[in-house]
Chain A
Amino acid sequence: MATPNTPLWEVFIRSRNGLAHKHVGSLHASDATMALQAARDIYTRRGEGLSIWVVPSTAITASDPAEKGMMFEPAESKIYRHPTFYDVPEEVGHM
């Protein structure tokens, strides 16, 4: 008999206070409690973190890489959003 699938979870870890939770990988678990325990065992065996988030993979909505042009091009063409776009005379000093 084929083994039934166990839900997939994405794991995020805060490595130290002051830093954001960062995606580290995924794992399978039946529920959130088991997912947290498994995440502890799989991703923090060497003091990699102080805090763990687990999120059901199905709860994530992702952008489509095929549409990355449409999605991100508008940001690329607006160079005036960057400080280096503006000229400040050297005499004025650091700004």
Chain B
Amino acid sequence: MYTQALNTAEADDRSLEDVAHAAQFQARIDAEERIEPNDWMPAAYRKTLTRQISQHAHSEIVGMLPEGNWITRAPSLRRKAALLAKVQDECGHGLYLYAAAETLGTSREELVDAMLAGKAKYSSIFNYPTLTWADIGVIGWLVDGAAIMNQIPLCRCSYGPYARAMIRVCKEESFHQRQGYEIMLTLCRGSDEQKAMAQDALNRWWWPVLMMFGPPDKVSQHSDASTKWKIKRFSNDELRQKFVDATVPQAQYLGLTIPDPGMTQDAEGHWRYSEIDWTEFKQVLAGNGPCNRDRMAARRKAHDEGAWVREAAAAYAKKRQYRQSAQAAE
């Protein structure tokens, strides 16, 4: 998930490349063939995918932070075990995605270093704080719900390793959304205070979640190349509308109010939402969201404090290898 908002394609500089190769490549894409790592591909395709998949991976890893915040404070052992499993899944998703990105020729270490240096982005949604336990419910229900909406079409993405990673991720993500909705349902059936807490969390997350799908189609830049290459199969607005239509009845079942007084249902049954505040989105992407600095600091701290582990593991492997070759020489 998490990359729709960040999609920007590289300028298509095919003039520099073998035109015949490029035409053949596009024909394969048009025939719904999957592209595999060693196949010829335009440099811009490689660059666009490296950026999209690595940003997706960074988002999964940073996404562990807002939820990890609640592991030690989950209200019951059942909730704690589920949240722990969910956060562990997010880590796994990050790792599948880094592996997919690496097949395009950039090492995981380089990709991670770029993120830590602030040169690579991650989803804007993780720069919002998780203030109450209800936020964990809303994240599962809506943030993961939006992610699924975005990721299902990516299972048919033209790049084989990305599509395969997405199939695995989607299977696991379904548990995330259901556990979130169950938290919301429990709160909404609880005391007045619990229901108010659920409503408050929805109020704070609703608009940032809608922003996860990225800028509106009329201003979304460069999505043409991604569409032509079948990396992207639906536009930002199409996915956002699908998500809203699926979510409104779920909120109604909970007895919660979507914080959009201007929302109406049109004749075709679609729920039409009000104008989204894109200034906020731009601010958060630019690094000025409520938690941007915290998130980056936490990632850098974890990376720095893990350096000795990486060094020790490498030294141990080297020692073992040296001993084995010494034994073999005897």
Contact = CB atoms under 8 A, between A and B. Distances in A.
B320 interface: yes
Which of the listed residues A7, A30, A31, A62 has the most CB atoms from chain B within 10 Å of its own CB? Answer: A30
Contact of A31 (B36, B172, B317): B317
Given A45-B88, A65-B39, A66-B40, A25 B313 contact: no
Contact of B314 (A30, A42, A45): A30
Interface of A: 2-8, 25-31, 34, 41-42, 45-46, 62, 64-66
B310 A3 contact: yes
A30 B309 CA distance: 10
Contact of B113 (A2, A25, A28): A2
Contact of A5 (B38, B39, B109, B320): B109
B102 to A, nearest CB: 7
A46 to B, nearest CB: 8
B96 interface: yes
A27 B99 contact: yes
Interface string B293-319: 000000000010000001001101100
B92 interface: yes
A43 to B, nearest CB: 8
B110 interface: yes
B313 A34 contact: yes
B100 to A, nearest CB: 8
A27 B110 CA distance: 15
Nearest to A3: B109
B109 A6 contact: yes
B108 interface: yes
Give chain A's interface secondary structure class: loop
Contacts of B303: 3
A2 B109 contact: yes
B171 to A, nearest CB: 9
B317 A30 contact: yes
Interface of B: 36, 38-40, 85, 88-89, 92, 95-96, 99, 102, 107-110, 112-113, 164-165, 172, 303, 310, 313-314, 316-317, 320
B113 A62 contact: no
Given A4-B310, A5-B107, A6-B310, A64 B89 contact: no
A26 B143 CA distance: 27
B316 A30 contact: yes
A18 B286 CA distance: 53
Nearest to B38: A65
Given A30-B316, A45-B92, 19 more contacts: A2-B113, A3-B303, A4-B109, A5-B109, A6-B314, A7-B317, A8-B102, A25-B165, A26-B99, A27-B99, A28-B108, A29-B313, A30-B310, A31-B320, A34-B313, A41-B88, A41-B92, A42-B95, A64-B38
A29 B309 CA distance: 12
25 contacts: A3-B113, A3-B310, A4-B109, A5-B109, A6-B310, A6-B313, A7-B317, A8-B102, A25-B96, A25-B99, A25-B164, A27-B95, A27-B99, A29-B313, A30-B313, A30-B316, A31-B317, A45-B85, A45-B92, A46-B172, A62-B38, A64-B38, A65-B38, A65-B39, A66-B40
A75 B314 CA distance: 45
Contacts of A46: 172
B320 A42 contact: no
Given A3-B310, A6-B109, A31-B316, A42 B39 contact: no
